[in-house]
Structure formats: structure tokens, C-alpha cells
Structure 1
Amino acid sequence: MRLGRFRWFVAACLTLLTLLLGAQEAPGPSLEVGEPHTGLLGPGEAHRFAAVLEKGEYVKVVALQKGVDLVLSAFDPDGARIAEVDSPNGAFGPEPWEGEIPKSGRYVFQVSSPGPNLKPGAYEIRLTLRLSADQYASHKILSLEPGVLERFRGNFEVGPGRVIFVGPMAGIFTAGGKDILYFRDSQTRRTGPLYPVSATRFFSGPDLGEPYPPEDEFAFTLSAEGVPDSLVWTPRGGSPVKARKVDPFRYEPVAFESGGATLKGYVLVPEGRGPFPAVLHVNGSQGSRADVGPAGNFFVRQGFLFMAFDKRGAGQSTGRWQEASLEDLAGDVLRGLEVLKSRPDVNPRRMGLWGASQGGWVAAIAASRSPDVSFLVVQSGSGVSVVENMAHESRSQMAGAGLSGADLEEGSALVGRLLGMMADGKPHEEIAAVGAAAEGKPYAPFAAFGKLPRDHYLWKWVRLCGHTDSADALRKVRCPVLWFLGDRDSQVPAAVSEKRILDALAAAGNPDYTVKVLSPANHGLLECSTGLWSEVRTCKRYVPGYWETMADWLKGHTGGPR
């Protein structure tokens, strides 16, 4: 009798335990660094993976979508959800999560379908980074204000002819796009952020977008005035190298009025007696002086006074670029040239423009309107109209998202038509009706212009700027021109642009122009594989020939020292 009751009790306990374990889903396969897992995810499904992690470690898990829209979730050892990632990138691209581990134990990472009606598709999940608690503790990233970062701007000579350029730059991949210190090595062409771990110590990561695992260490020594006067650079796995500060210059804030806006920026003045030749930076679409980074230091090294400013509505400048045409912005540039021309330390016969991306259109317009522009240098500026360029960029994005064949051709044609209608000022309803043809198609997210609110700035901006074509301006440019393009640029059609720029300058009767297509280069003239935006964070060095060619060209055209 007692034995029967005991057996019943054991069976009941086993049944309860089975139910409890069944309620808790199995943690799934183990995630290890360098060992990806692939799978097919259907509508409403969830796949789970596990990793035993230690408190204080810093880890990164990436779920790569290969035709399926998924959500990446993370659960702590107690089963509490600590993260959920669902980027607006559709069914292609990464869903990453990274962070410091708060407690030791088994963590579960889940990929799940966000809806029952979504298409099934493939994915890959991997643990891409696992930084030890000690290494992470010594490389926790601090936040420094832009004013503090500016003090570190300078050129540091590692050896004969080898300089590390350092300066603040807009943080493309930092939280909130906050400014961060950037560097460029003139010998290796390596570039990227410098992450602060103290008031004077920084480190670089493996590429533009990832701080970890740490690579090189940068320790600055300060003068009595609190300004860095030397740098100790320790390459990963190498010995410390002391670099002395060279090419001294003075930083001056500058402000001027143009078109009802107050535009603010800075001037870098080389040490020595002027007057100096001058370079004025022409903003791209982002529009902040911080986009320049340490590039201004490069021009100082060539013997130029350098000026950069925030365009309307960016940084510290007033106004709204969203309501300005590219001709208006060219007017701001010419007003900046007037400011330079009024300085006694500037040679008014040797003032030039350096623009990138959207700055190519603006710089070309400015050069066509003023004889004060004595030379023009452009990085990745388009040779077609704004709407043609936007259509090219959209097609690149579609191809990068996996569209091909008829879907790619239909989607590209529709986007081109919609952009043309916007530039022509067609009614909102008419554009929305044409865009409705994309409903249910794979290219629908790229053709959703008609769904934008009526007060969205893009409607007015495309009407103002859509038909602006740099070739029209270049047919009037007679000053020397150096124009760079990247052969794998997903944002600018390089081959078409090269021909149109050459044809326009020839039609102008311009006696001195050079167009160079660099390889393998993306929009930023960084070495790349595909040139797609999704790849940018993995880039780490400039393509050969950009900075070297520009230095030689400037010396030949303005008599610069280096």
C-alpha cells in the first residue's frame, strides 16, 4: 500500500517536471564565436540559440536576414527579455545586438517572425564578438564634448613622410551621430574613429563601424596649456612609437550672413607669413563642418588656409537647407569666398573649392558663377541630375536587398518615374496613384513616395533641386578641375558621370581638367567590395591614389609645399 502511494507520488512529480520543462522552451544550439548557424524561418516561427556568458563580458550577436523579416530577441538567465531588435530594413540585412553582460549564466537569443502572414526565408545567426570582462573594463568608451575633441586636432609625424592626421568628425555609427575623433594614416591609408577611454587615451577598432576588439592605442601628451603636443601610438601587437606634432596651425571660429541665415564654421591658419592659398569646403548632404574630420589638416600640410562651415540648418548655422535650392547653397559658398577674400592672410588669386557628394553640384554651380574660384576639386560628385542620381541610388539599394530580373527593372523604372513627377511638381494625389502600382511588389518599400505626408520636406526639396545637373554648370567652368569618382559607388553612377563631366568641360573649352575613377572605391573613396551602404561600416582604409593625387595636383596648380 505504502509502495503504491510512493510510486504514484514519483510519477506525479515526473509528470509535473515534464510539464514545467515543456513550458520552458529548450535553449537550442550553442552560439560560439566564428561558428554561424543557418536556418529557414517560417511565418509565426521562433528559433532559439544559447550562449553561456560571464558577467562583465561584452558580446555582439548578429542575425543576418537573407529573404526573411525577423526579430532578434535576447533573454537573460532568468528568462527576462533584455533586448528586441527589428530594424526597418525589410527582409534583407543585419539585425544586431551588443552589450555588456549583467550577470553570469545561460543567455538565449531568439530569431522570430514578426507576423503570421510574412513570407518564409533564410537567415544566419552568429556570435561575432566576445570581449573578456577585463579587456572591456579597460576599453569602456567615454563621451567627450565636441569642444574638447577640437583640442586634439593636429598632424603627428610618425616617421619621415608618414603622418597621422587627427580631427573631430561626425560619428556615422555612434549613438545619436555624436561627433568623435577620427584619424588617417598617410602611409597605410587606414582611417576610422578614435574611441576615448580617458581624457588623453584613445583606441581604434578593426574598421569604421566597430570599436571592438580594440586594435591600436593612441595616448596623447599635453602641453602646459592643455593642448596635445605629441602622441604615443601603439599598433596592435607592435611597439610604442612617439609621434611629434608638426604643421602647426591656428584654429579660428568664423561666422557670416548669407540669404537671411547665419552660417558658422572655422578657419585653420597655417603658421608663417601669408598670404596663403585657400581652400573652402563645400558641404554634402549632411551639411555639418564635422563631416570634414581631419581632412582640413591635410590642406594645412599642403600650405593652404582652410575654411569649413555648417550649411543652412545644420550644426550651429540657422536657416533651413530643406527649403533652399542648390543654387542658393552655391550662393552661400560664394559668400564664404568673399569672407576669405577679405582676409589679409589669403591670396585672393589662389582660392579654390573642395566638395564631396552633393557638394559636387553646389561647387560646380559656384565655380560657374564666380571668377574668384581659381580651382575646383570634387570627391564623388555626380555628373547627372539630382533625380537621375536618386534613381541610380534607389536601384543600387534594390539590388543590394536582393531584387533582380523583372522586379529590379520594374522597380527602378517606377522609382525613376515617381522622382521625375516630384521634380516636375505633379500633384500629391497623382504621384500616390502611380506609386500604388508597387503595392504587394518586392520593390514597394523603395517606391513609397506617395505615402509621405504632404508637409514632408522631400516634396519641396525635389521640386527645387531635382532637375539641377552639374553638367549644365560645368559647361561654364574654365578654372582647373580635379574630379574623383569611385568605380563601385552605389550612390553615384560613375561611368555615366565620367563621360558627362568630361564632355561638359570639353564643351566649356576648359584647358585644364582631370577626371579620375579610382578602384576599388565606394562613395567615400574607401576600399570596398560592393560599394553598398550596408558595407560601409566594415571599410577601414582609403583607396590608393586619392590623397596622393590631390597633393601632387594642388602642388602643381598652386605651388603648395608638399
Structure 2
Amino acid sequence: MTRTILRGLAVLAALALGLGLLVAAGNDYRFEEERVVVPVPGGALEAVVARPRGTARGLVVFVHGDGPVDATHDGLYRPWFEAAADAGFATLSWSKPGVGASSGNWLSQSMDERAAEVSHVLGWAAAQPDLPTGTTVLWGASQAGWVLPQVVRTRSDVDAVVAVSPAVNWLRQGRFNLLAELDHAGADEAAREEAVAASDRTRALLESGADHTRYLARTTEADPMDAERWGFVARNFRADATADLEAAAARHLPVLLTLGSEDRNVDVDETEATYRRILGDDVTVARFEAAHSMARPAVEESDALGLLAAVARPRALLAPGVLSTYRDFLAALAPPAAAGTANLRMRSPGRP
């Protein structure tokens, strides 16, 4: 009996050691990360800078999507940081207002205020002698699709854009997401009609300028928004990226648009058609068998599989080709022989 117990303990110890080695290897990234504080009007943002171990020749500035996202997105951004480092780029990312040690409240922001925040960070970065801002790239996910074009149209120190699963129109995106989730859940026609009717009532309340008390009294949603979320939506539900994209297009910056074929949050066909129509040859569109977050669909659908991958092999969370496409796009912007040269176009075959 004692020998059996000892053999069992030895097996468990070996498994634990193996898992530990796997986790260590999966989280051994090829960059150096440091914490910084970025002052902004009325407060400060906690941030991280991920630097390549060699000489950095450009900077990627991250713009988050919806939700209370910290500087590394609980570590999920680090594979992106590593891909940028492999291309010779440092990355700057910060916790949204009210997240971690960042002051403020992201739910109190409009998209215009989010764009102003990004602009303040860009100005701070340009003043730091140790940050390689000669070639500056904006990377933005999901809801950042309403932020990136505003920043590009107002600043001359952005040299390229990486747009990950951006939407175009807030209300159309919301309706697409609602119908896609109903389809995914196999809802019957009665359930679909009820959900659409509830959504229409919420839209009418937003259009009428209803406060949160009135919304709660009228809504039939199963999970109504709290007061802060209602305020956030009320400030932003009219968002549409079209006009800002048209204004930004005049700068002819290279844009990498990455989309997932299994995205249930954003109508990727509408997004691609809009970006191609407005940006023309300046946009490179890369589609992957991926969910909204660019994760593998199987990982997105399974909490257990997602947790295992996030802990042991975080790079494997993302669909094949996502990181290499991103790395190659950055590398083409500022090749070693022309470090600091901006606006070199990539030659490529091709819940907000």
C-alpha cells in the first residue's frame, strides 16, 4: 500500500513538474517589460512598455476595445507584444481609466474622449527620449474602430494602423451581434422576435434621451444595464466610423485590417467592404478562421480549453497566422536599412 501511494505521489510530482516547465516555456517572452506612469489631464494612467531585446526602431501604441481592460489584458496581449518585438518594435499599452491604478472611469468616456486620451499618450510618448517614436503605429481592437480614425485624422505623427475586428456603426453592430448570438444559440422564431422587440424598445429609449430610471421602468431585457453602462451607451450609440475614416484616408497610411470568419460581434463583411471602399490600396485585409478576439474558435467556445491555453501556451490562443501577419506588417514598415523612415506601404498578396 505504501509503495502504491509513493508511486502515485511520484507520478503527480512528475506531472506537476512537467506542467510547470510547460507554463514556464509558454510564458518566456522575447521582450523586456517595464511599468511606467503616463500623466493625462486630471490624473494618470498606469502603463507598460514592452521592448525588444535588441534595438527598437518603432513603437506600437495599443488602444483597447470595450470593457475594463488592463495594460496587458491579463496577459493576453503579451503574444502581440512579442510579435512586435520580433519585428523590432516596442509596445506601449495602458490600463483603461478606473482599471488598476489608472485614475478616472472608462464608462464615463465618449469615443471623442477616448481619442483625446490616445492623443495625450502619443504626445507623452514623443517627449520620452527612450521611446522609439520615429515610426509610430496605432493598434486597436473592436471598439477602438471608432477611436483610431479620429486620432489619425488629427495627428501627423501616426505612421500606420492595425485594426483588429473593428465595427463601423454602433447600432448596426449591436443588431448584428444580437442576431448572430440568437442563431448560435439556436433560438426559435418566437425567441428571436421577442429579443428584437426588446432591442427596439431600448433603441427608442436611447433616441428619446431617457435616463436610467426610465429605461429600467420600460425595458424587458433579461439582464438590464446598470446606470454607468446605460450612461456609456447613451453617450456613444450614435458612433459611426465612416466620416472619420474618410478624413483619415487623405493621409494614405498603411492599414492592416484583421478579421475573423467566426466573429459574432462584428459584421466583418460590412467592415471589410467599408474599409476597402474608403481606403482603397492603403488597406491590407487579412482574414483568419478566428473569433472576434482573433482567438481560435475552439478556444473561444470552451472556458476550460481557453484557461489551459492561456496558462500553458498563450500564443496558441490566437488563430494560426495572426501573429506572423502582424509581425510581417510591422517589419515592412521600418526595415533595418531604413529605420525611422515612415509611411512605407506593405507589399502583400494579401463586444465593442
TM-score by length of 1: 0.50
- What amino acid is aligned across from residue 218 of structure 1 in structure 2? L
Deviation string 1:159-211 (CA, Å, 9 cap, x unpaired) is xxxxxxxxxxxxxxxxxxxxxxxxxxxxxxxxxxxxxx6xxx6728xxxxxxx
Residue equivalent to 1:554:
330
Residue equivalent to 1:398:
182
| Alpha-carbon distance in 1 for matches of 2:54, 2:196 | 54
How many angstroms does 1:313 deviate by? 0.7
Residue equivalent to 2:285:
515
| Alpha-carbon distance in 1 for matches of 2:303, 2:232 | 26
Q: Secondary structure at the match of 1:343?
A: coil
Deviation string 1:26-46 (CA, Å, 9 cap, x unpaired) is xxxxxxxxxxxxxxxxxxxxx
| Alpha-carbon distance in 1 for matches of 2:218, 2:29 | 59
2:239 matches 1:468: yes
Residue equivalent to 1:496:
270
Contact persistence 1:472–1:504 (CA under 8 A): no
2:320 equivalent among 523, 529, 544: 544
Residue equivalent to 1:191:
none
- What amino acid is aligned across from residue 280 of structure 1 in structure 2? V
Structure showing the higher helix proportion among its residues: 2
Residue equivalent to 1:357:
142
Deviation string 1:477-504 (CA, Å, 9 cap, x unpaired) is 2321111111111111212222223233
Q: Secondary structure at the match of 1:252?
A: strand
Contact persistence 1:277–1:304 (CA under 8 A): yes
2:137 matches 1:366: no
| Alpha-carbon distance in 1 for matches of 2:239, 2:333 | 29
Deviation string 1:272-317 (CA, Å, 9 cap, x unpaired) is 456x211111122232112123321221111012211111111221
Query: 1:423-434 maps to which residues of 2 (within 5 A)?
Result: 425-428=209-212, 431-432=215-216, 434=218
2:110 equivalent among 319, 325, 341: 325
Query: 1:379-418 maps to which residues of 2 (within 5 A)?
Result: 379-385=164-170, 387-418=171-202
Q: Secondary structure at the match of 1:556?
A: helix
Contact persistence 2:29–2:82 (CA under 8 A): no
Q: Which has the higher contact order (CA 8 A, sep 6+)?
A: 2
Residue equivalent to 2:125:
340
Q: Secondary structure at the match of 1:372?
A: coil
Q: How many residues align?
A: 315
- What amino acid is aligned across from residue 321 of structure 2 in structure 1? G
Contact persistence 2:83–2:324 (CA under 8 A): no
Structure showing the higher strand proportion among its residues: 1
Q: Quick one: structure 1 residues 466 and 203, their matched pair in 2 at CA, closer, same or farther if it must change by over 3 Å?
A: farther
2:22 equivalent among 202, 218, 229: 218
Q: Quick one: structure 1 residues 498 and 535, their matched pair in 2 at CA, closer, same or farther if it must change by over 3 Å?
A: farther
Q: Secondary structure at the match of 2:147?
A: helix
Contact persistence 1:423–1:464 (CA under 8 A): no
Q: Quick one: structure 1 residues 432 and 313, their matched pair in 2 at CA, closer, same or farther if it must change by over 3 Å?
A: closer
Q: Quick one: structure 1 residues 523 and 136, their matched pair in 2 at CA, closer, same or farther if it must change by over 3 Å?
A: farther
- What amino acid is aligned across from residue 42 of structure 2 in structure 1? G
Residue equivalent to 1:505:
279
Deviation string 1:56-113 (CA, Å, 9 cap, x unpaired) is 9xxxxxxxxxxxxxxxxxxxxxxxxxxxxxxxxxxxxxxxxxxxxxxxxxxxxxxxxx
Residue equivalent to 2:51:
269
Larger Rg: 1
RMSD (CA atoms): 3.2
How many angstroms does 1:428 deviate by? 4.4
Q: Quick one: structure 1 residues 299 and 273, their matched pair in 2 at CA, closer, same or farther if it must change by over 3 Å?
A: closer
Query: 1:126-165 maps to which residues of 2 (within 5 A)?
Result: none
Q: Quick one: structure 1 residues 363 and 136, their matched pair in 2 at CA, closer, same or farther if it must change by over 3 Å?
A: farther
How many angstroms does 1:554 deviate by? 1.8
| Alpha-carbon distance in 1 for matches of 2:290, 2:146 | 20
Contact persistence 2:63–2:138 (CA under 8 A): yes
Residue equivalent to 2:219:
435
Q: Quick one: structure 1 residues 331 and 535, their matched pair in 2 at CA, closer, same or farther if it must change by over 3 Å?
A: same
Contact persistence 1:261–1:318 (CA under 8 A): yes
| Alpha-carbon distance in 1 for matches of 2:278, 2:188 | 33
Residue equivalent to 1:377:
162
Residue equivalent to 1:281:
62
- What amino acid is aligned across from residue 489 of structure 1 in structure 2? D
2:36 matches 1:254: yes
| Alpha-carbon distance in 2 for matches of 1:421, 1:317 | 32
- What amino acid is aligned across from residue 503 of structure 1 in structure 2? R
Deviation string 1:310-362 (CA, Å, 9 cap, x unpaired) is 11111221110111112212222112211221233445441111112223322
Deviation string 1:371-422 (CA, Å, 9 cap, x unpaired) is 111100021121222x332333233333333313243144224314414533
Residue equivalent to 1:203:
19
| Alpha-carbon distance in 2 for matches of 1:138, 1:544 | 31
- What amino acid is aligned across from residue 233 of structure 2 in structure 1? V
Contact persistence 1:268–1:296 (CA under 8 A): yes
Q: Secondary structure at the match of 1:353?
A: strand
Structure 1 portions without partners, runs of 5+: 1-55, 57-131, 140-196, 205-216, 221-230, 234-242, 437-443
Q: Secondary structure at the match of 2:46?
A: strand
| Alpha-carbon distance in 2 for matches of 1:503, 1:138 | 57
Residue equivalent to 2:295:
526
Q: Quick one: structure 1 residues 293 and 550, their matched pair in 2 at CA, closer, same or farther if it must change by over 3 Å?
A: closer
Structure 2 portions without partners, runs of 5+: 310-315, 338-352
Q: Quick one: structure 1 residues 250 and 534, their matched pair in 2 at CA, closer, same or farther if it must change by over 3 Å?
A: closer
| Alpha-carbon distance in 1 for matches of 2:183, 2:321 | 28
- What amino acid is aligned across from residue 481 of structure 1 in structure 2? V
